[in-house]
Structure formats: structure tokens, C-alpha cells
Structure 1
Amino acid sequence: MISKRLFRILTFGLLLIFSGNISAQYIITGRVTDASNGDPVPFANVALKGKNIGTATNFDGVFTLRTKVLSDSLFASFVGYKSRYKVITQSPGTQTINFQLESANRALEEVVVYSGENPAFRIIRGVIANREKNDRKRLTAYEYDSYSKMELDVDNISAKLREKKFMKKIDKAIEKFEKIAGEDGKPVIPTFISESISKFYYRESPQRKKELIEKTNVKGVGVHDGGFISQLVGGNLLANYNFYDNYVPFFGKDFTSPIGDNWKGNYKYFLSDTTEIDGHPCYEVEFDPKRVQDLVFTGKMWIDTTNFALVQIDASVGKGANLNFIEKIKIQQELERTSEGAWLPAKTRFLIDIEQITKNSAGMLLKMYISNRNFVVNQPKPLSFYDLASEIAEDAKEPDPNFWKAARFDSLSKQDLLASSLIDSVRNIPVVKTYVEVAEIVVSGYKRFRNFDIGPYINAIAFNKLEGMRLRLGFRTNPDFDKHWILRGFVGFGTNDLRAKYSGEIDYLFSKKRWTMAGFRHTYDVERIGLTQELIGDNKLFYAFTRWGNFSGAFYRRENEFFFTKEPTKGLSFTVALTHRSFDPLFRFQFRENPELGKDSPVKDNYDETFFTFETRFAKNETFIMNGNDRITLDTKRIPVITFRYQRGFKDVLGGNFDYHKFTLKAYQTFRLGTLGRSAYTLSLGYTPSTLPAPLLFPHLGNETFFYNRNAFNTMKYFEFVSDKYASIQYNHSFEGLVFNRIPAIKKLKWRLVASANVLFGSQRKENVELMQEGKPRPFESRYLDRYGFDSLDPSVPFVEVGYGIDNIFKIFRVQAFHRLTYLDHDKATPFTVKASMHFQF
């Protein structure tokens, strides 16, 4: 029999034991990352196996799970990844368990609803109904402080590539990086890493944006200076995504938003859970594409249950989408509510994984992280403040690590620190430097030296009937030479005509903020009627190929030009120029000096012209970034770009032979046609009331090459038609994957259907026709080639051609057939032709 005292002692001891077990708490912490690149996986589910106990990772992939009971293992899961289980230590206290998740092909199962509709539909409708009060566009302006981090890596390194000599030199560093990525991580080689502190400003009406880069730290293989790159590393100009828009644009593509107006026709939805995000009770909604080939997302989003605002989103585009060279695209965004009710992006991650071009090469991985804070809303700046979209402070370059430790919004991970040290090792390897230089030449067309660049290489050599082998060497100075003075030019020589060609230009850049430049150029070269660079435009590849072959319609041209250009306000620019040109044709050409005398008129086979040019260009919301002493356009928000030009010719000024007036107006626009794809058109109008030789009128751009040219009439011959007044429209449409994505056997090829139509109305006045008729006979030198009639169009019958074809063949080729529908009885008309082109696109 146990005494009462002993019983009390045993009872007290048992209570202590049980109370200890009841109060014991297990804490599990860790981080969930992507096994392919080591990046965090935000919003992943982490839970005990067999228990209804779990949590979710934050935006940095970190989780903390507190529980009073355990199971044998912990698992992590997320949309688009394979679930992973790990064993738990069965002892009280804190333990750390990290997960590396591998990507998985996932198809969301259809949800069968026996009564009523899918409950997720009500939530999406609520988001759209409340879009106006939650979308940042309701704000008149906003600004914030921003920290951005960007990294560019080489990934998907093939086994054969790793056997290369230069790869073995950095093998030890790669092994270290693999360990940081995790036991299931894949090797990546960082080649560029940057971070920046900036202030971002946005104004809604009229739309303006500006990023002021205050501090940068840029380190990378092949990085010459921080000017151009530092404007990109700010991040907010490139990755300021807004899912409330119907389409989320990047890299020239439009991805349908899961909360846009076209949601129901493109996505499947599943209401998977309700959870709390930073104090906001949220619906957790999964979304999957109805057709994986379409430009749509897969992922999860968290919607506030009270105001239906988007709080967080994790959206991915997989390899199955109709994109080229893309393994994966991922956008993760966390939004914060402002004092006015609208939500702004607080944190954004963007990742694009570019696949291996060949099985024995490597891919590329671009990662960007942006953290924003200190939001200020509805306090717009003056319009002039936004003139320069990206601006870098004079003392922006800051390599001091102590500064960045205090300035970063978020501390660097071990992987970030190792990436920075690895770049120092990689960029000093000679063969790596060589590869980078070759890549730079391919992209820019120039070989860079200390103060100048040599190129472009596409114009370095050509073969044609007139010049034989044409050799050309060009150059331009870069900012290392001078930040205001710019020199450029070329020298060329033909082995047949034995004539030297040359050009020299000197420019002075007064202001980058309000783009202001003046200059003078002198050129002597051989050109072709209607195929000069000012008529062809920016299609440099097509212009280079026009210098090959028979070279019909050629003439020598000597040119002197003074010009001045200025952008007084954002989107509006003016250019004025005074030009003298000579025209010395290499084909049978003549015009009547006194047309009123008819055939008795003396004729002339060359001329000089002196003219003044005024040009204005309007491109609303166009954004530029600086590239040395040049600038590169980013976009015009799909608003028409309008160009007006007036030319005034002066007789007897600097030897000019004609007085004339000439007017042209052009509008170019690209726009989305909903689910049908993307269209682009060029509308052109031209008029001259003056009597002039045909080359000074409007020779319409034909195309006798095998290469497709968007700006040309592809079934028209060179110089076939000339007008003194005309109107034309050139319309091109890409259906993207709308048609071929729905054909089972073809959709894997990722072909894209394209169509086009070109219509031209034009005519010549009687005086201009008679001017080009023969006068008194005149002997022609043997060097002259064929004579061209420069025929007129019937003002009541337009020139019409239509085309159709397939783009994205083997990811780079476009083949398009064209039918000529009118003027089929014209001399040597081309009723049908096939053109091809090659271009790299996503």
C-alpha cells in the first residue's frame, strides 16, 4: 500500500512530466528554393505529413512552423513543382529544414461543379468589378524609393561543355556554387551582378515615368562602363508589371492576364484555400492555361476577401508556350495598399530562363529583384521633370561594401555573395573575354576599342556588277573619346569601278536630357534609285543586301549636309537641315531642260539639288535610354508614331538646279487585336506640286531580292512606279499561335501564321511625265546600263498585293508568299513571289 505522501510525490511527478510534454513546442524553420537556380519560392505550402498543420513561405521563400505535435516528415509543395518530403528530428526545440523543389509539368484538373458555377469565377468577377478602385492607374501620380538587384548567369551547362578547357579552369568555383544552391541544385555560373538604389516617379496624365539612379554597384564579364547598363539595372522601367491590364507585355509579346477581361476564355481556375497575407484575409486561387501553347500564365494569386484586390501573385510561363529559346518565365509580385486605396508593387521578382541553343552548349538565366518602399501618391511633378526617363547621378558609382550593407533594403544571401566573388574569377579568364567580345560584335555590329568602335560588320563586304568586290571600313567614337563630340565615317573601294567611297561626320551633343545635337557630314558613295538609306529606314540588313547582285539603277552621289535636331518636350522632336546633293546616274537617264519645246528641248543626264528640310516627329510616351552618346528607344506604348517632312529646293543656290516643294506624312503603329494577335500598319502620304525629274519625286520602294521587307512592295520591281502624289497603307498581322496552336500535329512546331496587305494609290501630273520624255538625241557612254521608264500609276486603280506565310520556322525563319492583284499586264510584272527573312525573336 502506497503512503499518502508517496502518492502525492508520484502524482506531482507525473503532472510535471505531462505538463512538460503539453507545453513543449517544436519550431521548424527553413527556406524553399528553386533547384534549378537557387531562387526562393514565395508562397509555397509547408506542412506536416498526415497532420492538418502547416504554413506558407514569405516572399523570400522563408518559413517558420510552430507546433505542439509532430509527424515523421515535413513536405513542401507549390504549383509547377514536384512536392518534396524530408524527415523531422523528433526532439523539442528549433530545427532547420531547407527544400529545393524541382519543376514539374502540371495540368490543373478540371473542377466538376454539380450545383452552380465554379466558385473561383465569382472572385475573378469581383476583382474586375473593383479594378478601378484598386488599380494604380486611379492615382494621378506616385513615387517611391527602390532597391534593385539583377543577376545574369550561365546555366543548363551540358556535360560536353564542362569538359572544355576554359570550363575546367573555373570548375572549383562552380562546385562551390553548386553547394550553395543545395543538394539538388543545378550548376550556374554568374557573369553579371548589380544592385542599385533609385527613386521612381510616375505620372498618369499625360503618362510619364522616370527613374533616378542614385547609387549603383555593377560587376560583370565584359562590362566596360556603368552608363548604359546602370540604366537597365534600375529595374522599374523594365519590370513594373501591372496584372490589372488585360495584357502583360514584355520582350515584344503580350501575355493575357489572369484577371484581365479575357480571363474566362484563356484560363481554368480553382479556389484552393483561404489564408492571411500581412493581415489581409485572402482567397488563394490557382490558375492554369486552357491551352499551354498560348501566351498565358500558370500559377497562384491571393485576392483580398473584402475589397477583391490583388495582394500577391506567382505567375509562370512554361516551355510549352509559343515562345522561342525560353525554358521558363516567372513573375512574382507582392503589392501594398496605399493611403488612397490603390495598390502598388512592394516587391517583384522576375526570372527568364533561356534554353540551350544546342545540346552541347549552355543556357542563360536572368534574375531581377526589386523592393520598393516610402510610397508617395498624388503629388505629380512638372512635365519637364520626366524629360529623361532614366537619369544617373554623377556620383552614382559606389563599390564600397560598407555602404551597401547599410543601404540595402534586404541583405544579400550566401548565394549572392558567392556569385559576386565568382564573377571576379570568371571575367579574368582570357577565353571568356574572347567569347564576350565576339558576342558583343554580333549584337552591336561593332568591335570596341578604347576610344572608338570599328564597324558595322554587315557593310564590310559586298559583291555587285558595278563595283565588283566592295570593301568598306567604318568607325565611330565612343564616350571614352568625348561625351559631347562624336566622329564617325567610313572608307570604301570597289575592285571594278576603282573608285574610292568615303564619308566623314562630326557631331556635337549639346544635351542628353532634351536631346539636342548639331553636325555636319560629307559623303561620296554609290547609291540606287529608291533604295537609299533615308527611304529604306532602319532596316539595315535589307539595305546591306541591296548592295549585292546586278545593282540596277545605280548612281554616284556627293552630299554635304548641316543638321540640327532637338527634342523640346518629351515625345516631340524637330530636325532642320541644309543639304546639297549631286546625282550622277549609271543608267540611261535624261530629262528635258525646257519641256515646253517638246522633242526639241535640250536634255540633261545629271543634276544637282540644294534643299532645306524641316522634319517633326511625334511619339507619345516614347521612352529612351542612353547608350554612350546614342540613345535607344524602349517603346511608344502602342500609340501611332507620326512623322511630317517638308523639303524646299532652291535653284542657283550652291549650284542647285530646281526650285521645289515636297511634303510627306507617315504614321506607324502596332496594336493588339485581342485574341487574334498583333497588327502593325504604316500609312504614308506624299505630295509635290513641282515639276521635277522622276528620282526627285516619290520612287516607290520595290523589292527584287529574296528577302522580305516590311516597308517595300514585294511584287513591285525597283523604280517600276513613280508618283508626285500618293497615299499608301502597308498592313501586317501576326496571329501568333492562334491557328497553329490548335492543330495537334503542328502546335509543337510553334509556327505562327502571318498575313499582309499593301495598297498604293498614286499618279503623276502631265508636266512631270513630259519632263522625262526624250528630247534631242544624246550619245550615252558605254558605262550606262538599262534605261528606266519610271511609269505612272492610274489614279483610279491602286496597286494591290496580299501576302500570307509562316513565321518562326526553326525559330528564326519567315517564309511569305505574295500575290500581285493589279497591274498584271505591266511590263515584266511579277504576279507571284515568295520572300524569306531571318530574325531572332522570342
Structure 2
Amino acid sequence: MIKKLFFCSFTCLVIIKIDGQLKLTGKITDFDSQKTITGAVLNNKQNTAISDNNGFFELNVQDSTGVITVQKRDYRLQKIAYDLHADSLLPIVLHRAVNTANKYIEGVIINTKKKYKNKKENPAYAILKAVWKRHYKNAFDTYDNYKYSEYQKLEASLNNLDSSFINKKIFKGMEFMFKNVDTAFSTGKAFVPIYMNEQLSTYYKVNRPFSKEKKVLIAEKASGFEDYQFMVQTIQNLYKDFNIYDNQLNFFDKGFTSPLSTEGFGVYDYTLMQDNIIDGEACYTIKYIPRSNAVFAFRGVIFISKEAFAVKKITLNSPKNIDVNFIRGVNAELTYHIIDDKSFRPEKSQIMVDMSLLNKKANAKGLYVNRIVSYKDFEVNKPEIAKEIETKTQREDQHIYTKDEAFWNHQRHEPLTPKDSLTYQNLNRLWQLPKFKTAVKLVEAIGSGFYNIGNAVDVGNLYSLYGHNDIEGDRLRLGARTFFSRNDMWRLEGYGAYGFRDQKFKFGIGGRYMLDKYKRFTLGYRFKRDLQQLAVDPMGEMNSSVGTGRSFASSSIANTGNNFYLSNIVENNIYASVEPFLNFQVTLDGSYREIKAADPRRFNINYISRVGVEKSQANDARASLVLTYRPGAQFAEYGVDRNMIKRLFPTFTLRYTKGISGVFKSDFNYDRIQFSYVQPVLIGSIGQSNINIEGGKTFGTVPLSLMNVLPGNQSYISIPNTFSQLDYYEFVTDAYSNLFWEHHFNGWVFNRIPLLKKLKLREIVFFRGAWGSLRSDNIDVSRSNIVYKAPKDHIYYEYGFGIENIGFSNFRMFRADFNWRGNYLDHPEARKFGIKVGLQLGF
């Protein structure tokens, strides 16, 4: 009965008029087996559609009656008459072809069966080769400057709903939402929108003489999870910018081979189909499917202009069993405007992602996340654009959120459907229900680690409540921060921690205030009194955040060897930062620290002062200048806190620190320079490499507590950018350079092994190396009870491999690393081999 009900609700949606077109919907089956047919191509000269995994299709037609053509390899070409007044759901039955020889239709060869000896025999090869020869580039890269209007509509919907689910008691009071239920033609299952967002922006870009860009938000209309960082960021991270002509397309930070790749014939089978007309332009039509399910690839149709040999339109559909966590499928349709025989610009893109949080079974409850982006009102090579990019702000005032319907009706690139309008009304009602807000808060807390109270305060981080070390024994920690919205211009935060062995209370407080949101001019202050493992995070000084975050080593749960190398830190810090150019941040900070060993009997950091007296407490006053550059970075917020949208951009950081003796009893006068370069690199279908290069040098005499210590890791947990087989303080330096390289194959190897493929495990390899030196004057000033060594004669290195994506169903968040120490094996208690475990939640 339920199946019949869904079928009837599906057929009621066959005729929908959008942008002056009618929609013809139906299902394609095999005459002999009665099984549904996937990948059949339907066209009516103006438009084309492809039947999905369940045989359903949806084709835009101009008239209520007419004829369409249906093609599928191994089947007869058929012309089908339709009448929308008579056919609610058009059934199409295809017959197997008796003769599988090549067929000629209007001068275009359509091959239905033949296997080519080599790619050059395939008629699609000559067409794609002509495309490759032209080296098409995005026209935007050729202009001195340009601007355009961009419209984005983002919608998230619960999918795979059924009557038993809708009628659950938990939805009591929300019945009005299910009056807006729609039915996906691809599955025949119901879905209901729970989030909508529209943005209208003007994008500016200057390419020469120096590259500058700015996106100015003109208007935004939203209803849903706007003030929930984890949820919004998750949706934002679903979508990446890419050029269809590139050999690899970035989806979910995994390299999918583009059907336009010059290596495409090694990944795809191409079939030349009947010509089509797209937006009045005659196009070759090439259908493509992946040769193997073990690679990241798509299936779909490419429409290539017969005159310009450029892509006019392309569809990208992921295979059924896509090996990406939480993702059941991706469907994209991209349209381009061809400018000349060497350049193009994007016109419109629509990408729909089918997500499932619990498991990836076809009938599991999940989310459709659909994004439509369109572009218009282009202006290029105008002197005033360069001026506007300097004067226009990235965010205007609050009026951008209060534009009336008259504005939106005039400015939208395409009108809302009646169901979209109803969605806004329903979502406004939904967010008035207390139990719905509570449910959303719980989901947000699981993802972010913070639970919001009264729309004013976040409590957390819930994942760092408990820790253990040799000084404090069991340790409890809880923090809180003000949080009124994702875009707060100020934030106060603090935490408290208690150790049951030392019976001492530790705490930290801090605050930040953004005075200018356009240049991001921000002032901040923090105070902290806590235990800290200085040896685990020497590059922590590269960060200028005044956040009161935890020290991992002092809050770890289990360690190998001793973990009493902790220091008591009392620190005051004040800082100011500004962003004079996009993604370029300048920070000035000053701090004063008092550092003492937490357990002097087992570990001390004593030193000889300038007057020749041995001291156990180091007083350090310093000022720093930090330059940070993130070309290509994008952010989900614009307030004092911002979460970066995950992109493959580099991060450059340069820090100069001046130690000032005589200020607040400081004993040390020194200069230090540090540099960091972080770069994720997508290497085709082989996976992604993460590269981190660090270096630094200290000029002047300093004791152990102010030296650079190679970051060891004695816990059983994987910590990024640390040496897994080094003990704390095993190598001490005043000049150093580190390299951390890690490559994620994303199943590139395991997916080719039948028994391992079913486990969906993914492989990692890594290498870590370090060089450092230590001057005699720094050794002489220290009176610590540890032995000083630096990896000067030989570069210290580690290597190993890991297995990630360990878990069950969709909860594959664990990884295990197998680490080998490469040298310095003669050190006392040197750990030659070790296993670390960790969490790595992602796609």
C-alpha cells in the first residue's frame, strides 16, 4: 500500500512548468527482462536527459505533445510520441538490438557495441582531441579586471521519508512541514526541505598588475541553521571550485578524473551519440562511463560545440557505490558560455549531493543538499573596477538581511518555485518549536563539541572533559564562551581545570573585540595559569590566537614512558591584528610568561641568570610580529571567529619575536625568527599529500624553557606535526628545520584488492624529518637535569604507513599509524617501533 501511495504521489508531479518549460517524466525498462535501464539518453533536439539508477528520467520539453528520441547501447534507437495530457508517467520499453553494427544518424556515427582496438578508432577521440588542442581557459583569467553578479540558492532536505517515519510521535506539532513533501524522480521517495539560503553578491577580481579579489554580499535570505557553525561549515565544505578542463576535479578533497582529461581514455569508455542543440548551438553529444568502479570517476554526457570545440554543457553523475564517507551520490549539471576559440566562462551550475549520516543504504534516511549558482551582468577591463575593489566592502550592513520580496523578485536570476516560497514559510514556523531547536543543538554539540545555552553561551569543549598525566593524575576541564551568533564581533571565553593528584585548580580567561570588520582590526587579551607540555608544540608560538584551548599533552589519556616533563605556566598576552589585504594578516602581540617545572624533583628547567644566580623560574617578556598569508582561503563567517572552508590552499606564516630583558623581571634578551609553510596537494586520482615545512633560529642566549624542542609524542594518540617515536625533550635546539609529509591514497591501493575493497579501508604513508643545532652558550646557561642533544650530524627521521577509514557503516572515523624510527637508535630507551591511533572524521 505504501509503495502504491508513493507511486501515486510521484505521478502527480509529472507536469511541472519551470522557466517556461514543461517536464516530461517517466521510466525506462527492458522488454525482455522487465528490469529498469540506467544511462539511456533521451532528447527532443532542445534538451537531453539520462535515466538514473532506477530507470527514471525527467526531460524538459517545449510542447505538451511531441516526439522524443531514446538511445542506449545494445538497444534499438526508438522515437517515442508523448502527450502530457494523457500520460502522467510515460512508460518506455526498449528492445535489444538485433544487429549491433554501427548506425548512421544525420551524419553522426553512433556505436552501440563495438570495442575499439585503440582510442584513435573511437570517433569521440577526434572530437576530444580537437578540444585539447585549443587549451581552453576560463576567460576571467585573461582579463585585466572584471566583475559580475552571482546568485546562489542552497537547499537541504530530509530524504527517503515514508509514512511510518512521518507519523512518529517525535514529529508531533510539525505536521505542517510534511504538507510540503516533494518526491525525487530519481528514487520515488519523499523529501522535505529543512534549510534554505539565497545569496546575491557582486564579485570583483583584478588580475594585473597584482591579483586581488573581493566578493561583496548584496543581499542574503536564509531560514534554517544559520547560527550553527558545524552544520553550516559541513554544507559549505561539500562544494569546491573547479575547472572542467582540468585533468582532475576536486570533490570532497578527492581527485575525480575529469571526462575532459587528456588521460580520460584510460579511465572512461566514450560513445558518440546523436547530435543535439543546446541553447541554439549545434553540439556533438558524447556519453561516458567509467571503465572501473575502483577509481574516482563520473558518468554522464558531454555536449561539445561543433563550431568552437568547447564544452557547452556537461553532466556529472557519480557511481552507485561511491567511496566517500557520508555521500551516497553526486549529480551535477554545468553550463558554459563560449566566448571565442580559446576561452569560456561559467554560466550556471547545479550540484546535488545525496548524504546519509547513519549508513549509505539506498533506503536510509539522509539529506539532499542542492546548490544552484548562476552568473550574469559581466563587466571586464574597466578602470573603475580596480577602484571599486579597494572601496567596496566584503560585508555591508545589516540591511543585506532585510531586503523585501519586491527586491528579491526583481534581483533573483531565476524565480522561486511555489514550493520554495512555501518552504520559507514552513521553516519560519519550524524554528519556533522548542523541541526542534533542542534536537538541532544536540546534533551541533556532537559535531562541534559545544552546547549552546540560551542563545548566549557555548559550553565545551565536551571532547576534552577528561585527561590524565603524571602530575595531575585524573584531570577534568570545562570551558565556556559567549556565542550569540556565528558572526559575533566580540567574544569572551574561559575554562577551568582540576587535577585530582596535585589538587590544584587551573584556569584561563580571554576576550576579543573586532573594531573594524572590513579590515578585521581586532584587539585581544588572555590570561592563563595551567600546566603545559612545552615540548609537544614548539610551533604553537606561531599562532596568535588568544583562545583558551587545551594543551593536548597535559590532557592526554594514555602515554608511553614518563609524562612528568610538564611546566607551570602563568601568562599574560595582549595582541592586535589587521587584514590590510585579502587573506593577508598582520599581528602584533606582547606577552609575559613565568615558567616553572611542575615536578622539580624529576624534571627541572633551572638556569644561571645574568648575575650568576641559579634560578628555577624563567621570566620571559617578549613582543612579536606575525605575518600570515593564505592565498585562496575562504571562510564561512565574517565575525571575530572564522572557520575556514576546506580548500587546497597554502598557508605561509612568518614570525619575528624579540625577547626584552628588564621588563617585568625578564632575564632574557634574544631574537627569534620562525617560518612555516603548509600545503595540501591533490595528486590526481592517487590521493592527497599534506606537506608541512617549519624552521626557526634563536639569536641570543636562552635557557631550556625558551629553546626550540623537537615535538615528541609519548601519547598513544596521533598528533599532527609531531615525531611519534621521540620522547619529550629528547632533542633540544636553538636552530631547527622540520619536514612533515603525509600522503592519503584514499583507497587507491586497497580498492584494487577484492577482499580489502569491501572493508572500505584507506591507506596512508608518511615521512618526518628534522635537523637542528645547539650552541655551547645555551648549554652552559642551563642547569636542567636532562641531557641536551641536537640532530646536527644526521637528520633525524621517521617513516611508516597508516590505515584510516576504520569503523562500521558510515562511522569510519578511526585511523591506526605504524611508525618506525629511522636512526639515533643508540639513545637510551629509544622507541624503534610504535602504533598510534587517532580520529580523522571526514569524507
- For the aligned pair, the TM-score class normalised by the smaller chain equals 0.7 to 0.9
Q: Tell me the TM-score normalized by structure 1.
A: 0.81
Matched, 1:147 2:151: yes
Say whether residues 1:603 and 2:614 are aligned partners: yes
Among candidates 649, 662, 666, match of residue 638 of structure 1: 649
One-letter identity of the residue aligned with 1:304: S
Q: Of 360, 363, 372, which aligns to 2:375?
A: 372
Aligned mates of 1:111, 1:528 — CA distance in 2: 67
Residue aligning to 1:562: 574
Residue 197 in 1 paired to residue 200 in 2? yes
Q: Does 1:803 align with 2:800?
A: yes
Matches within 5 A, 1:28-427: 30-32=22-24, 46=42, 56-57=47-48, 61-65=59-63, 97=88, 111-113=114-116, 117-132=121-136, 136-157=140-161, 161-162=165-166, 164-167=168-171, 169-170=173-174, 173-174=177-178, 177-178=181-182, 185-205=188-208, 206-220=210-224, 222-224=225-227, 240-338=241-339, 342-358=343-359, 362-379=365-382, 381-382=385-386, 385=389, 390-398=394-402, 400-427=404-431
Assess if the C-alpha contact under 8 Å between 1:698 and 1:722 holds in 2. Answer: yes
Q: Which amino acid aligns with 2:389?
A: F
Match of 2:758, as an amino acid?
K
Structure 2 CA distance, aligned partners of 1:144 and 1:472?
Answer: 49
- SS at 1:369's partner residue? strand
The AA in structure 1 aligned to 2:455 is: R
> How far off its partner does 1:547 sit?
4.2
Gaps of 5+ in 2: 1-19, 28-38, 51-57, 94-110
Cα–Cα, structure 1 residues 828 and 176, in superposed 2: closer, same or farther, change >3 Å? Answer: same
Deviation of the 1:162 alpha carbon? 4.7
The verdict on how the C-alpha distance between 1:514 and 1:237 changes in structure 2, with shifts beyond 3 A counting, is farther
Deviation at 1:458, TM superposition (A): 2.6
Conserved 8 A contact 1:310-1:335: yes
* Corresponding residue of 1:818: 819
CA distance in 2, matches of 1:498, 1:796: 44
Shift of 1:740: 1.8
Alignment of 1:468-547 (within 5 A): 468-478=473-483, 484-531=489-536, 535=540, 543=552, 546-547=555-556
CA distance in 2, matches of 1:673, 1:386: 36
Q: Distance in 2 between matches of 1:496 and 1:342?
A: 69
> In 1, distance between residues paired with 2:689 and 2:704?
33
Alignment of 1:554-703 (within 5 A): 554-587=566-599, 588-593=603-608, 603-634=614-645, 637-639=648-650, 641-703=651-713
Tell me, yes or no, if the aligned pair for 1:525 and 1:556 is still in contact at 8 Å: yes
**Structure (1 or 2) with the larger CA radius of gyration:** 1
Q: Contact (CA 8 Å) 2:537, 2:711: kept in 1 or not? A: no
Cα distance in 2, alignment partners of residues 484 and 301 from structure 1: 47
Q: Which amino acid aligns with 1:337?
A: I
Q: 1:153-180, CA deviations, whole angstroms, 9 ceiling, x for partnerless residues?
A: 11134787556311365457436514x6
Query: Percent same amino acid at aligned positions?
Result: 24
Equivalent residue letter for 1:444? S
After superposition, the Cα gap between the structure-2 partners of 1:245 and 1:119, relative to the gap in structure 1 and judged at 3 Å, is same
Partner of 2:752: 742
| Change over 3 Å in CA distance of 1:656–1:547 after alignment to 2 | farther
Residue type of the alignment partner of 1:615: V
What is the rounded CA distance, in whole Å, between the counterparts of 1:794 and 1:400 in structure 2? Answer: 66
Code of the residue aligned with 1:674 in structure 2: it is G
Q: What displacement does 1:475 show?
A: 2.4
Distance change in 2, residues 1:250/1:613 (3 Å): same
Which secondary structure does the structure 2 equivalent of 1:293 belong to? Answer: coil
Offset of 1:554 from its aligned partner? Answer: 1.6
* 1:762 alignment partner in structure 2: 772
Instruction: Give 1:461's aligned amino acid.
Output: Y
Where does residue 711 of structure 1 map in the other structure? Answer: 721
Query: SS of the counterpart of 1:745?
Result: helix
Instruction: Tell me how large the CA RMSD over aligned residues is.
Output: 3.9
> 2:154 is paired with a residue of what secondary structure?
strand
From the superposition, tell whether residues 246 and 507 of structure 1 become closer, same or farther in structure 2 (CA, over 3 Å): same
Structure 1: how far apart are the matches of 2:696 and 2:820? Answer: 25
Shift in Å at residue 463 of structure 1?
A: 3.6
**CA contact under 8 A between 1:31 and 1:57: conserved in structure 2?**
no
How far apart are the structure 2 equivalents of 1:30 and 1:147? 24
Q: Give distance in 2, aligned partners of 1:749 and 1:228.
A: 28
What is the CA deviation profile of residues 255-292 of structure 1, one whole-angstrom value per residue up to 9, with x for unaligned ones?
Answer: 22211333232222111121111221100011112222
* TM-score when normalising by structure 2: 0.81
Q: Is the 8 A contact 1:527 1:555 kept in 2?
A: yes
Structure 1 range deviating more: 133-142 or 809-818: 133-142
Amino acid paired to 1:410: E
Q: Check the 8 A contact 1:452/1:481 in 2, yes or no.
A: no
CA deviations over 1:611-657 (Å, ceiling 9, x no partner)? 12122223233333425421222366534x22222222122211112
Give me the whole-angstrom Cα distance separating, in 2, the residues matched to 1:382 and 1:621: 19
Distance verdict in 2 for CA 1:158–1:533, change over 3 Å? farther
Is the 1:479–1:628 contact (alpha carbons within 8 Å) kept by the matching residues of 2?
Answer: no
Q: Which digits, 9 at most, give the CA deviation of each residue in 1:679-717, with x for residues without a partner? A: 121112221232222121111111111111220001111
After TM superposition, give the deviation of residue 367 of structure 1 in Å: 0.6
Bigger shift: residues 140-149 or 314-323: 140-149
- 1:703 and 1:716 in contact (8 A); partners too: yes
| Shift in alpha-carbon separation, 1:657–1:185, aligned structure 2, 3 A | same
Cα distance in 1 for residues equivalent to 2:525 and 2:551: 26
| Aligned 8 A contact 1:216 1:230 in 2 | no
The AA in structure 2 aligned to 1:505 is G
- Aligned amino acid, residue 23 of structure 2: R
Name the SS for the 2:128 alignment partner: helix
Residue 18 of structure 1 is matched in structure 2 by: none
- Is residue 462 of structure 2 the alignment partner of residue 457 of structure 1? yes
1:146, 1:659 → 2: CA distance?
53
User: Which residue does the alignment assign to 1:433?
Assistant: 437
Cα pair 1:564 1:575 within 8 Å, conserved: yes
Find the aligned partners of 1:265 and 1:172 in 2 and give their Cα distance: 51
Offset at 1:822?
A: 0.5
Q: Which amino acid aligns with 1:367?
A: N
- The alpha carbon displacement at 1:820 in A equals 0.4
Supply the distance in 1 between the matched residues of 2:233 and 2:218 (Cα, whole angstroms).
Answer: 11
Instruction: Give the secondary structure class of the aligned counterpart of 1:657.
Output: coil
Q: Is the 8 A contact 1:579 1:611 kept in 2?
A: yes
User: What CA distance in whole angstroms lies between the structure 1 residues aligned with 2:260 and 2:583?
Assistant: 31
Amino acid at match of 1:704: Q
Structure 1 spans left out of the alignment, 5+ residues: 1-27, 36-42, 48-52, 103-107, 775-786
Structure 1 equivalent of residue 5 of structure 2: none
Kindly indicate whether the alpha-carbon contact (under 8 Å) linking 1:149 and 1:370 is maintained by their aligned counterparts in 2: yes
Partner Cα distance (1:636, 1:229) in 2: 17
Alignment coverage as a number of residue pairs: 766
CA contact (8 A) 1:750 1:808 kept: yes
CA distance in 2, matches of 1:478, 1:469: 29
3-state DSSP class of the match of 2:719? coil
Give the superposition deviation at 1:478.
3.5
Q: Secondary structure at the match of 2:442?
A: helix
